[in-house]
């Protein structure tokens, strides 16, 4: 009986094996391994308490090489970033890059900042970096940085948006409020409201939540003066060391509302009528 034994005359190195694999893939019309492209995470940080961030968001931050955080310039040499402060509390090790946002209703300058941020992120992601954008509250609720997410998606760059606890949810929990009940509807208002609109909402089973309260302070305080029958719950800097909550109308009528403030208004009479039915 004759046995034929194949004995290679030389050892095939790893490069040669890879070339053979490439050739096989071309013949079989299949894809061979490409460089992995990591999605860019838009991470919702929640209202400000480090313990209120979700585990999924925390893991995304821990795995990121670079984390972009919004900041504002309050004084010539003072840069503030609540997002970056929260990351330090969470002991995040990735590089934190701040991008400064102008505080103005005219969004032209902010859009310019976001476009520059998009270009930086596009290049870093192409280089294989793991990227995240830290967003206070929830990334889908009045978060202007969502403009960058849209740009990334339009250019075929994978993104993921992770949810977080918005400030008004943290506020109602802190004050032990029943935010909506039975047939009530929740209305979120971004700092532009009229007294007629408030009349309409509060007389038709709606619970208004006014965010960016500093933008309509005069209207709200005048409304409190003329409509004392409603319950007004005011919050500022929720879930932080500076957290403040009050429902005392006399005090709220003369208080200066900062940027990070909100108010929840209830028609308690309608609630009582509904509960008796």
* Residue 253's CATH number: 3.30.950.10
Is residue 30 in a domain?
A: no
Better-scored residue on pLDDT, 36 or 116: 116
Q: Average pLDDT over the chain, rounded to whole? A: 87
Residues 227-255: b if buried by 16+ CB within 10 A, e if exposed: beebebbbbbbbbeeebeeeeebeebeeb
Inter-CA distances, 20 with 11, 26, 30, 31, 79, Å: 14, 10, 14, 14, 56
pLDDT at 223 over 50: yes
Instruction: Tokens for 46, please give them.
Output: 């929640």
Greatest distance between any 2 Cα atoms in the chain: 110
The verdict on 103 and 178 lying in the same domain is no
Smallest CA-to-CA distance from 61 within 45, 46, 82 is with 45
Last residue of a domain, one of 144, 165, 186: 165
Q: How many domains are there within the chain?
A: 2
User: To the nearest whole percent, how much of the chain has pLDDT over 90?
Assistant: 72
* Residue 38: pLDDT over 70: yes
Same domain, 141 and 214: no
* Residue numbers of the domain that contains 221: 168-275
Residue 47 has pLDDT above 60, yes or no: yes
Q: What is the rounded CA–CA span in Å between residue 48 and residue 159?
A: 24
Q: In the predicted model, what is the mean pLDDT of residues 99-121? A: 88
Contacts of 59 (CB under 8 A, 6+ apart): none
Q: Is residue 28 in a domain?
A: no
Q: 125 and 45 in one domain?
A: yes
Residues 175 and 66 in one domain: no
b (16+ CB within 10 A) / e for 132-153: bbbbbbbbebebebbbbbebbe
User: Lowest-confidence range among 11-20, 160-169, 179-188, 259-268?
Assistant: 11-20
263 and 157 fall within a common domain? no
206 & 151 share domain? no
Answer yes or no: is 21 within a domain.
no
pLDDT digits (tens, 9 = 90+) for 71-86: 987 766 778 899 999 9
* Structure-model confidence comparison of residues 100 and 264, the more confident one: 264
- Mean pLDDT for 213-227 is 96
Q: What is the mean pLDDT of residues 23-27?
A: 47
């Amino acid at each position: 009986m004759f046995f034929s034994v194949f004995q290679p005359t030389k050892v095939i190195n790893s490069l040669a094996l890879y070339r053979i694999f490439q050739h096989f893939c071309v013949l079989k019309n299949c894809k061979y391994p490409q460089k992995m492209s990591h999605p860019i995470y838009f991470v919702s940080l929640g209202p400000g308490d480090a313990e209120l961030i979700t585990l999924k968001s925390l893991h995304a931050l821990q795995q990121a090489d670079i984390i972009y955080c919004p900041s504002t310039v309050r004084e010539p040499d003072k840069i503030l970033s609540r997002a970056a402060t929260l990351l330090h509390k969470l002991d995040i090790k990735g590089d934190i890059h701040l991008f400064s946002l102008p505080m103005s209703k005219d969004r032209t300058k902010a859009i310019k900042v976001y476009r520059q941020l998009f270009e930086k992120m596009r290049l870093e992601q192409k280089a294989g970096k793991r990227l995240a954008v830290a967003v206070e509250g929830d990334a889908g609720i009045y978060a202007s940085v969502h403009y960058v997410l849209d740009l990334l998606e339009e250019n075929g760059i994978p993104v993921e948006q992770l949810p977080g606890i918005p400030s008004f949810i943290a506020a109602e929990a802190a004050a032990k409020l029943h935010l909506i009940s039975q047939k009530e509807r929740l209305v979120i208002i971004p700092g532009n409201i009229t007294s007629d609109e408030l009349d309409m909402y509060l007389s038709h089973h709606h619970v208004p939540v006014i965010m960016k309260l500093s933008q309509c302070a005069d209207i709200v305080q005048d409304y409190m003066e003329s409509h004392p029958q409603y319950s007004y719950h005011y919050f500022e800097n929720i879930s932080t060391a500076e957290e403040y909550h009050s429902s005392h109308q006399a005090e709220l009528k003369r208080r200066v509302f900062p940027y990070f403030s909100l108010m929840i208004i209830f028609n308690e009479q309608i609630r009582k009528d509904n509960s008796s039915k």
